[in-house]
Amino acid sequence: MTHKEFRSKSRLSTETAHKELFEEYCSYVYTIVFNRLRSCVSREDIEECVCDVFADVYIYYDDSKEIEGDISGFIGTIARRKSAEIYKRSAVRSEAIPMDEESLSMIPSDQDIEAEAEKNERRRTVLDKIRELGEPDSTIIVQKYYYGRTSKEIAEMVALTPENVRVRSGRAVKKLREMLEKAGITM
């Protein structure tokens, strides 16, 4: 969801905008919070932190500013700060974490779940923007860059000449690049 979409939905109904924002970004926020707090607090505390993140998003989001792009950076920043704050509080309460089998299984792996979630969010945004190009441009882009098909193969699929496919591809890439820049994604 972009800042512009959230602002327009908020103007119609704040409650609906908040619900849609929560539904879209709940798993993203939960991933960030869980990754930071899984070894030091209970699941209930993690869930409470997720709720606190959304409360802060609703409180501190300034819809009067004209901001372009995706809102996920703002939400991710609040999630990281809120989970760091809770982590610090829990570290003060207990100086050491006991190392029994359950604790050892919670030691973070070398897989960065937070980075994976952000990468998946970026991919979803790119695919959404590709769909916004419309047909046959979206098919041309997907077939060329995701499946590695030639202009001749794509031309047979979309009933165009290979030359038209190349021209449309160039224009579609330029348009897609502009759309992604407006969404805050640089290529």
Instruction: Give the separation between CA 77 and CA 58, rounded to whole angstroms.
Output: 14
Could you give the CA distance from residue 22 to residue 122 in angstroms, rounded to a whole number? 18
Q: What is the CA radius of gyration of the chain?
A: 21
Backbone phi, psi, residue 70, to 5° = -80, 150
Q: What is the DSSP letter of 146?
A: I
Predicted pLDDT of residue 111 = 65
Q: List Cβ neighbours of 103 (8 Å cut-off, separation of 6 or more).
A: 39, 97
User: What pLDDT, on a 0 to 100 scale, did the predictor assign at position 103?
Assistant: 58
The Cα–Cα gap between 136 and 155 comes to: 10
Q: What pLDDT does 104 receive?
A: 54
Domain ranges of the chain: 1-108, 112-187
Write down the pTM of the prediction: 0.49
- CATH C-level class of 1-108: mainly alpha
Quote the tokens at residue 18. Answer: 């908040």
pLDDT of residue 85: 87
Token pair for 81:
């700060």
pLDDT for residue 45? 86
How distant is the alpha carbon of residue 91 from its chain centre? 29
pLDDT per residue rounded down to tens, the chain (187 residues): 676 777 777 778 888 888 888 888 888 888 888 888 888 888 888 888 888 898 888 887 776 666 677 778 888 888 889 988 888 887 766 555 555 555 555 655 666 677 787 888 888 888 888 888 888 888 888 888 888 888 888 888 888 898 988 899 899 889 988 888 887 777 6
The CATH architecture that domain 112-187 belongs to is Orthogonal Bundle (1.10)
Q: What is the pLDDT of residue 187?
A: 63
pLDDT digits (tens, 9 = 90+) for 86-138: 888 877 665 555 555 555 556 556 666 777 878 888 888 888 888 888 888 88
